[in-house]
Structure formats: C-alpha cells, structure tokens
Structure 1
Amino acid sequence: MDVFSITKLNNLIKRVLEREYVLKNCYVAGTIANLKRHSTGHYYFSLKDDDASVDVALWAGTAQKKGLVGQLENGLFVTMRATINFYHCRLCLLRLASLHPSQVLCSMIFCM
C-alpha cells in the first residue's frame, strides 16, 4: 500500500486531470451559493447541485471584462464552459471560458 504525502497526491491528481481531454472544454451547470465579493474585486462562491458543490473564484479583471460585476447573486442557476486545471494548494480548479446565467460568459476558477 502506498502512503502519499499531500504534495505527491496533489502532483498525481494534477497529472491525471491535465491528461484528460474531455476536461479541456466542458460545460458545468449549477446554482451559485455563498457569494462573496472581496475588497480586491474578486468573487468567491460555491456552485452546487442537489448532491455536490465546488468552490469558485472569479478574478476581478475577468468579472469586469465579461460584464459580470454586480450580475452574480445567490440562487442564480448558471452554465459555465470550462477548462479544468489543477491548482495544488487548493486541490482542483476549473478555468471557465464562459458563464451563462443560464447564460453569463466569463473565465473563472473552481477549487474543490
């Protein structure tokens, strides 16, 4: 039985996720919850469905460029076009190419 350090586990997950072609351009749908806007202008929230959730960070520049400032709210159902990447400090992330309030358009990061 292998015992992984956190760093080794994170590196393994990163390699596996980055090889998976389907994760380079996929759609994710869910409801925004726990929305917070940081003083830097970044947005942090969860995207959830009935059984699971994922934490999301939307950078201020992306929110501004995509016209999302002030447009997001708790309970809003959105569909996001995403590329899944890995950020080893927080485990997993999705970089979103677009967000649709069930059409909105942006780039974001999901962290599990």
Structure 2
Amino acid sequence: MNTPKILPWVARKAGITDDHATKLWKRAVREAATIAGCSEGPAFHKLSVERFLDNVEAAAFGTVRHGYSNTPARLSWFWRHQGRMAIFGLMAAENAARFWQNTWNDTVTGMLVQKRSNGR
C-alpha cells in the first residue's frame, strides 16, 4: 500500500521526520491488516489511517505543544471530524429518499383505499 500524500504534512504538524512518519505508516498498515483480517477495502483503509494518526500522536506526545496551552497537539480529531462531515450528506440523501418512499407509499395506499370504497 502506498503512503498517503498527506503524510509529510502530518509529520510536520507532529514534529517528526518524514522517515519516522513512513515507518509509522507501515506499522499502521500491518496493525490494520491484523485487526481487519484483510488488506483491502474501505474499512481497512479507514482503520489504517486511524492507526497511523494514533501512532503519530503517541510518537509526538510531549514534543508538540500549542503556543497558547501546555497540551500536546492532537491530529486524529481532524480525521474523525472529516469522517463525520462526510456522512452528513449521505444521511441527508437517505432521509430524503425515505421521506419520498413513505410519501409515495401513503399516496398509493390512500388511492387504493379510496378506489375500494368507491367501488362498493
């Protein structure tokens, strides 16, 4: 599996070298393959990126500090936040489709009931 293009940016933000980040990426891919039991698919890719960010945070813990506080920088929140934001559009589309389907079913059912009551 190729290294992600965002790897140098993550390394700079975490204060580690690109070589160290590449090693952490390879480790994350091995861990994700062990956990997922496969080395392909969206679940594997998501897990490998999450493991990578967790490994980077563990490696950078204590080395990167915000200027306004004494807490270490965390990178995984950004990945998880983007995942949540990506789901919002899908949830809206699913809700719209469900609303359309329910409305259509109610309309057809109402027409059938009306047709049966007029026919008797």
Q: What TM-score does the superposition give when structure 2 sets the normalisation length?
A: 0.22
Question: Larger helix proportion, structure 1 or 2?
Answer: 2
**Greater RCO between the two (CA within 8 Å, min separation 6)?**
1
Structure with greater Cα Rg? 2
